[in-house]
Structure 1
Amino acid sequence: MTAQLPQSQTTSGSDLYEQDFYLWIQTTAELLKQKNFTQLDLENLIEEIETMGRSEKRALESNLEVLLMHLLKYQIQTERRSKSWQYTILEHRRRVQKSLKESPSLKPDFDRVFDESYQTARRLAVIETGLDIATFPEQSPFTLEQVLDSDFFPKS
């Protein structure tokens, strides 16, 4: 027995995409399950898959930036260290590790954006702390391995 498509027969895939995105997803999934490739809205399906890939990369970079910023703050502002900073470091490290575990093909991108993410983290740390940018090293004092090490916290 074939499952019923959620889409109305009068609505094309691209129209449905514009009118009701969630219903478009359900309809697309059902068409794929049925191997009914001729009715797929391929243009929008390809666009959504590419967007998902870009979103994964952006999430990895964003979590890396927050992680690096808090590692910097933790290293520089020893008198202001808090459980909240430790939590943020652990949480964003976990998110980065999870992204790399679920999508190992992101690792080369992680390596490639590390320095750029550090520069962003450095500027964010300036905003959060009110300290001069010269307070924070121009190059990351943390290695890739340290950033990913669940037990690593910077020393004073």
Structure 2
Amino acid sequence: MNTPSSTQPATMVKAIIPTLYDTDFNLWIEETVRQLKQGDLQSLDLDNLIEEIESMGRSDKREVKNRLIVLMIHLLEWRYQPEKRSNSWTATINEQRRQLGLITGDSPSLKPFLVDNFPGCYQIARRDAVRETFLSLSVFPLDCPFSLAEILNAEFFPD
């Protein structure tokens, strides 16, 4: 069993001794919240707290991109395979719009992120639509045929 010795650097000791973060994540969260509420800032596990906060931001951004891609795929399918339109597609389109609205409502600062990532998300959606529809890539325009405002508009369904 590895145990820290007085000759090991402090960074090695931290790697050897598991922290509450490593052994019980939920309890670590509860303890961190308690410390914050009590103003016990010196006892905080700052390294892991910073990592978790950064991770939350990355997670929201990833969710925005994924939902936008799924929404675009279904709108492309709606436009280019009208004979296959279904209630399932309508439900998926509505749900992606609803979730994007909730996310950007909670975090309005993600709206510029949505705008900035719109072209790249469309390119992914275009390729994925080819795989889902078995249509040729050339069927789908190189640039998105819908504006971001249309895509997010609950009333918009392309003809």
Query: What is the distance in 2 between the residues matched to 1:98 and 1:152?
Result: 18
Report the counterpart of residue 11 of structure 2 in structure 1: none
Report the counterpart of residue 43 of structure 1 in structure 2: 47
Query: Is residue 63 from structure 1 mapped to residue 50 from structure 2 by the alignment?
Result: no
Detail structure 1 runs of 4+ shifted over 4 Å in the superposition: none
Query: What is the distance in 2 between the residues matched to 1:117 and 1:96?
Result: 14
1:83 partner letter: N
The superposition leaves residues 26-80 of structure 1 with CA deviations (integer Å, 9 ceiling, x where unpaired) of 1101111111001000000000000000100100000000000000000000000
Structure 2 segments unaligned to the other structure (5+ residues) = 1-17
Query: Is residue 34 from structure 1 mapped to residue 38 from structure 2 by the alignment?
Result: yes
Structure 1 segments unaligned to the other structure (5+ residues) = 1-13
Query: What is the distance in 1 between the residues matched to 2:85 and 2:55?
Result: 38
CA-based RMSD:
1.2
The superposition leaves residues 116-141 of structure 1 with CA deviations (integer Å, 9 ceiling, x where unpaired) of 00001111111111111111111000
Q: Taking every aligned residue pair, what percent have the same amino acid on both sides?
A: 49
TM-score, normalisation: structure 1: 0.89
Structure 1 or 2, whichever has the larger Rg, is 2
Q: Compute the displacement of 1:143 (Å).
A: 0.2
Query: What is the distance in 2 between the residues matched to 1:68 and 1:48?
Result: 30
Aligned pairs (5 A) from 1:1-156: 15-155=19-159
1:88 partner letter: T
Query: What is the distance in 1 between the residues matched to 2:128 and 2:122?
Result: 10
